[in-house]
């Protein structure tokens, strides 16, 4: 019983990060219809930012999170101003297609540069408290992963409150519902797009930094995490933050149960098969509405 409970626990712990990784992609896609497939690379950059702050200057990875966010905000700004702002006016179908292609170009560039700058080695942050864990009913909970899950939940809650309680958040949701009507109501949708894109990059940065603490990072991790984020986005349905969290948890638990019952090498395969089934049977996601 305990090994099963243990893998369930690990599944939930990683599932929270999956949710955090996906919510940025989902926010950007929902608001701007940009499908930024370089999202996984932004995550990778966040991971390396946290890693270098810790390795070079000994900054605690949880304390450096705000600096990582600042770096990714800057990166998001540059990418938006330089590239993505040029695709705002395209029709929806072309917008998705072109941003997807530009995203592939970006992921190639980031991956190649990261490989040259930081080598292909697996990296991870090992702090003085990395080995600590507490045990509940024989199930082990590593402290850093629990803390990461906590931060992921706080981020998701904060985003939810921001979108629902603030004026700016309401403007973002109005743009999702009908951007033309939003424009007529005096909402500057270019600002909304920029804000969403930058927020998405920042969320990817946080997720990446947390991955580098509890797990490991490498320059080629981007595609895997982009796929994870896509899977969770489709599982959870667009535009629902609780749905995205549940999608992340489902994916995390499915993967760890697959490892437990079938074998570790099949965890990604089962995740992708789950994704394909959902795509064909219920393209609007498990929790999404028909309109998306």
Partner 1 sequence: MSGKRLVVIALVIAGLALLTVLPVLVQSDSIINLAILALLYIALASSWNVLGGYTGQTNLGHAAFFGLGSLTTRLLWLSVGWPLPLSLLAGGVVAVVFALLVGAPAFKLRGVYFAIGTLALAQVLNMTVGNMFPMITSLPAEYLATYQLAPRYYLFLGLALLTVGTAYVLVHSRLGLGMMAVREEEEAAESLGVSAFRHKLLALSVSAFFAGLTGGAFAFYHVGYYPQFPFGPVWTFDSMMMAYIGGTGTIIGPIIGAVFFVVAKELLALNLLELHLTVFGTLFILVVLFLPGGLVEAWGRIRRVLARRARAREVRLASPEQASGHQTVVGL
Interacting residue with partner 1 among 83, 144, 195, 204 (CB under 8 A)? 83
Interacting residue with partner 1 among 86, 140, 190, 191 (CB under 8 A)? 86
Q: What CA–CA distance (Å, rounded) separates 244 from 28?
A: 13
Q: What CA–CA distance (Å, rounded) separates 18 from 187?
A: 32
* Per-residue binder mask for partner 1 (CB under 8 A), 25-64, x = binder: ----------x-----------------------------
Contact (CB, 8 A) for 152 and 210: yes
- Long-range contacts formed by 50-54: CB under 8 A, 24+ apart: 50/125, 50/208, 50/209, 50/212, 50/213, 51/123, 51/124, 51/125, 51/212, 51/217, 54/125, 54/127
How far, in Å, are 10, 31, 43, 183 from residue 85 at the CA level?
Answer: 39, 13, 21, 17
Q: What CA–CA distance (Å, rounded) separates 42 from 65?
A: 14
| Nearest approach, Cβ of residue 96 and partner 1 (Å) | 5
106 is an interface residue for partner 1 by CB under 8 A? yes
Interacting residue with partner 1 among 74, 78, 113, 157 (CB under 8 A)? 113
| Nearest approach, Cβ of residue 70 and partner 1 (Å) | 25
Interacting residue with partner 1 among 55, 63, 78, 116 (CB under 8 A)? 116
Residue number with CB closer to partner 1 (109 or 161): 109
283 is an interface residue for partner 1 by CB under 8 A? yes
Classified as helix, coil or strand, 139 is strand
Residues that bind partner 1 (CB under 8 A): 35, 83, 86-87, 93, 96-98, 100-102, 104-109, 111-113, 116, 223, 227, 230-231, 234, 265-266, 268-269, 272-273, 275-276, 279-280, 283
């Amino acid at each position: 019983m305990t090994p099963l409970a243990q893998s369930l626990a690990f599944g939930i712990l990683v599932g929270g990060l999956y949710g955090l990784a996906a919510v940025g992609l989902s926010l950007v896609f929902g608001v701007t219809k940009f499908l930024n497939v370089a999202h996984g690379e932004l995550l990778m950059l966040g991971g390396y930012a946290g890693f270098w702050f810790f390795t070079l200057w000994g900054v605690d990875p949880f304390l450096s999170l705000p600096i990582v966010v600042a770096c990714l905000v800057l990166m998001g700004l540059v990418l938006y101003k330089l590239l993505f702002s040029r695709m705002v006016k395209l029709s929806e179908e072309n917008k998705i297609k072109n941003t997807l292609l530009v995203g592939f170009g970006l992921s190639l560039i980031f991956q190649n540069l990261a490989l040259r700058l930081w080598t292909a080695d697996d990296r991870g942050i090992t702090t003085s408290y990395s080995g600590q864990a507490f045990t509940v009913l024989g199930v082990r909970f590593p402290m850093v992963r629990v803390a990461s899950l906590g931060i992921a939940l706080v981020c998701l809650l904060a985003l939810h409150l921001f979108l629902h309680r603030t004026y700016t958040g309401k403007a973002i949701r109005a743009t999702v519902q009908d951007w033309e009507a939003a424009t007529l109501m005096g909402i500057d949708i270019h600002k909304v797009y920029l804000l969403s894109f930058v927020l998405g990059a920042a969320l990817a940065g946080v997720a990446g930094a947390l991955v580098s603490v509890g797990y490991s990072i490498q320059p080629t991790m981007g595609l895997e995490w982009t796929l994870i984020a896509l899977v969770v986005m489709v599982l959870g349905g667009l535009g629902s933050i609780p749905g995205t969290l549940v999608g992340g948890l489902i994916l995390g638990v499915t993967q760890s149960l697959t490892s437990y019952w079938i074998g570790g090498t099949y965890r990604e395969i089962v995740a992708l098969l789950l994704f394909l089934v959902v795509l064909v049977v219920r393209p609007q996601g498990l929790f999404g509405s028909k309109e998306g």
